Structure 1
Amino acid sequence: MTKEIWLNLPVRDVEVSQAFFSAIGFTLKPEQSAPGERACFLVGKTVVMLFAESIFKHVNGGLPMNDTQSTAQMLISFDAESRAEIDELAHKVKQSGGHVFSEPAENQGWMYGFAFADPDGHRWNGLYMDFSKLNT
């Protein structure tokens, strides 16, 4: 039935967001991107569409967008291959204009991760999960 999941997010400046997500290692899909309108990225098996705010407002039926500086609607989580990848990604986020609000750390004895906000304030959570330690 479902082939892909697409996350659609509003952004103030498509080029700034495209540069940020490219710099941290997300895979740009140029064939589905359009300068000033949208940038499309593949994150694992999930498609993330970044729409200019004016276009997003039209696409979502005209509802107002939440203020990402004072509210959080969701936390987008993704997995990593290793603890080193989490550390490297946290460094790239800081260098590329994102805000790490939870530094890389171990959680519950089997997860290692960090959380950040992209330039538009959308919240992301990168995790390395060592399932061999899950029930120990």
Structure 2
Amino acid sequence: MPRMIFVNLPVTDLDRSKAFYEAVGAVNNPAFTDETAACMVVEEGAIHVMLLTHEKWAQFTSKTIPDAHDSAQVLLCLSMDSRDEVDAQVAKASAAGGKPDPTPTQDFGFMYGRSFEDPDGHIWEIMWMDPAAASGEAPAEVAA
């Protein structure tokens, strides 16, 4: 069985967060969704985002939830199939109430990345890498 990742994120407004993640292409899995949590499927069988109310989050850890608008502990990164898809994903996030480009755009020619913040301040980096460069078939030249 291939491994899956479940990214758990604390959220202040579960309905708002579900709507945001649906707007950027995730699909809600109602089997793992209730009034305290929502399972948002980013890639079937591989990538899931668990949106947890603060009360639900506290069932898993006693650590303080930092305000992700003011601090960051992780940067989540998701690949796309093209530069255009990177731009389109950031545009969807912005239209849904996310903050576009909270981190610098990266353009190295063979690799291109942008980012967005969700309504709770969690940063998602969206990137594309030339398949030849990713496989090591072509030399990765950094653009000036």
- TM-score bracket, normalised by the shorter chain, equals 0.7 to 0.9
Q: CA deviation at 1:102?
A: 4.7
Residues in 2 aligned to 1:3 and 1:114: alpha-carbon distance in whole angstroms: 26
Residues in 2 aligned to 1:123 and 1:11: alpha-carbon distance in whole angstroms: 13
Q: Which sits farther off after the overlay, 97-106 or 19-28? A: 97-106
| Residue 24 (structure 1) aligns with | 24
Residues in 1 aligned to 2:73 and 2:2: alpha-carbon distance in whole angstroms: 24
Deviations 1:72-113 (A, max 9, x none): 000000101112211211111111010012589552221122
Which structure shows the bigger proportion of residues in strand conformation? Answer: 1
SS at match of 2:101: strand
| Same amino acid, percent of matched pairs | 33
SS at match of 2:91: helix
SS at match of 1:20: helix
Q: Which runs of 5+ in 1 are unaligned?
A: none
TM-score scaled by length of structure 2: 0.83
Contact 1:114 1:125 in 2 (8 A): yes
Q: Tell me the matched-pair count.
A: 134
Greater Rg, structure 1 or structure 2?
A: 2
1:10 aligns with 2:10: yes
Structure 1 residues 56 and 104: alpha-carbon distance in aligned structure 2, compared to 1, 3 A threshold: same
Q: Which runs of 4+ in 1 moved over 6 A?
A: none
